[in-house]
Amino acid sequence: MAGKRTVRAIVVCKARSAWSVVWEISVQLAASDLGMKPQPFIAYLRRYRGEMRYRSTQRARNIQRIEFLEQFIARQGTGAELGVHKGHFSQVLLDRLAPQKLYLIDPWYLQGKQWSWGDGNRRVMDALCYVLRKMEDELVSGQVVLLIENDLEALAKMPDGHLDWVYLDTTHQYEQTVKELEVLKVKVKPGGVISGDDWQPDPSHKYYGVCRAVREFVDREKHAVLCVDAKTHQWIIAWK
83 and 36 share a domain? no
**Whether residue 120 is found in the same domain as residue 16:** no
Cβ atoms of 207 and 169 within 8 Å: the answer is no
Residues 142 and 210 in one domain: yes
Measured in degrees and rounded to the nearest 5, phi and psi for residue 98 equal 45, 55
User: Does 108 lie in the same domain as 30?
Assistant: no
The residue segments making up the domain with residue 39 are: 2-51
Q: How far apart are CA 105 and CA 110, in angstroms?
A: 12
Distance CA 196, CA 169 (A): 6
The number of distinct structural domains making up the chain is 2
Is residue 39 domain-shared with residue 72, that is, in the same domain? Answer: no
- Shared-domain flag, residues 195 and 234: yes
Same domain, 28 and 118: no
Give the model's pLDDT for residue 148: 97
> How far is it, in rounded angstroms, from Cα 102 to Cα 168?
13
Say what the pLDDT of residue 178 is: 98
> Which pLDDT belongs to residue 83?
95
Q: In the chain, which residues have pLDDT < 50?
A: 7, 9-15, 23, 48, 51
pTM of the shown model: 0.77
Q: What is the SS3 assignment for 82?
A: strand
Tens of pLDDT, residue by residue over 61-88, are 888 999 999 999 999 999 999 999 888 9
pLDDT tens digits, one per residue of 10-29: 444 444 555 555 545 555 55
What pLDDT shows up at residue 111? 87
Q: What is the CATH number of the domain that holds 188?
A: 3.40.50.150
- Cα distance between residue 88 and residue 62, in whole Å: 8
Q: Are residues 101 and 129 in the same domain?
A: yes
The answer to whether residues 20 and 124 belong to one domain is: no
**pLDDT-above-70 percentage for the chain:** 74
